[in-house]
Amino acid sequence: MRERAALTGEHASALLSELVRDASIREAAVISTCNRTEIYVVAAESTAPLRRVLLDTWLRECGVDADTLDPFLFWKNTPDASAHIMRVAAGLDSQIRGETQVLGQVRGAAKLAQAAEAAGPVLNALFRHAIEAGRRTHTETELSRGAFSIGHATVDLASQVFADLSHARVLLVGAGDTSILTARHLIDRGVTQITVANRTLERAESLAESLGGTAVVFADVSRHLSATDILVTSTAAPQPIITRAMLAPVMRSRRGRPLFIIDVAVPRDVEEAAGKLDDVFLYNIDDLEACVAQDTRARESETADAERIAGEEAGRFLAWLETRAAAPVISGLRERLDAIRTADLKQLRARLSHLSDADWAAIETATLAMMNRVAREPILRLKQETVGKADRYDLMTAAREIFGLGPERGPAEANTLPDDAATAQELPLDPTR
């Protein structure tokens, strides 16, 4: 199901574009890796049709029917969703705990959403905090140092098939990050013969040069299988590129020489039936679980700090999100104050027409500064009081809080006005104010 629901680059971009065209969705992003496909959206005010819209759009892109996919889905709202992506970016939700590749995939998802013009202020902030959670986990904890990876698992499994990896010939099909990391692990264990095949020959040549290997045309992969000991595949092909029918004659010509295949593509590159052939050792992402489980248990003690960091970044994002509720009030306050300032200046200028332009500019600057000083305290308190606070003020208490007027005074004190206030009471009042 993970393979069938996966969203490659083009499908992900198409899904994002379609989602944000719907009235129920304001922003959208997709993370699709070998281990997960997740859709993040910012809903409009009315969220009733959201689940249906998401599911229908996703199903059209991946070609799976709703009844088949639904049992495998999970749905998370704001607090849980933000906590989840922080853990994903930190490597805490990965099959291989502490792995660093997922952080790059989260970055890629953010860039894809931005390129599709599907990300907005909320998702940009969410992904920014998620990337920070991943970065902090890798720099402030030991979780990712020496983390067991797919490359490690591949080398361990291959060592059970080949006594000496230095003589093994490796064919790398596809230039995905996981296959490249796997190839580097094999090189670290002594492999010297690497052949690279990719749909783009220039990419294959560039990768082969970096690995000290040779590049071949993608269409010639089948011809090179007979000379291969270890096959690593990681393409974005929608259907298997290595089938049982293709591999059967190859294995007959090898006369019992084993072929070790690690398929890290989602969807899978190698047909499952091909693994039933004699002397074929086929492993995919799910087959690595047994190798990873033991290492994960050994790394449990490293996760506490990483969980704390993920929680902190989720909290910071949620705090920022809550302050957005004050934005319309802050904007309205500024507009109201500026409207009063502008109207009074207009009346004043008619009476002070003898002033020079320079003098008038000085008056405008001074009144603007005055307005900003008046607004500063309310705006600061609005931002502070939004975070984690429910409505808990009556009107009088709210006025004291927002203008920073301090505690309520007693009746006698309240009836005693300072000199400037008493003078102000004697002035004629403008009934329009």
Positions marked catalytic: 34
The answer to whether the CB of 4 falls within 8 A of the CB of 64 is yes
The answer to whether the CB of 232 falls within 8 A of the CB of 179 is yes
The DSSP result for 168-227, as a single string, is -EEEEES--HHHHHHHHHHHHTT--EEEEEESSHHHHHHHHHHHT-EEEEGGGHHHHGGG
CA pair distance 381, 311, nearest whole angstrom: 25
Enumerate residues 6+ apart whose C-beta is below 8 A from 115.
13
CA pair distance 215, 201, nearest whole angstrom: 7
CA pair distance 353, 317, nearest whole angstrom: 52
Query: Strands, E, within 280-414: which ranges?
Result: 280-284
Q: Map tokens 């600061």 to a residue.
A: 380
Burial label, 135 (beta-carbon count in 10 A; 0-12, 13-18, 19+): middle
Cα torsion at 266, 271, 275, 277 (round to 10°)? -160
The answer to whether the CB of 258 falls within 8 A of the CB of 281 is yes
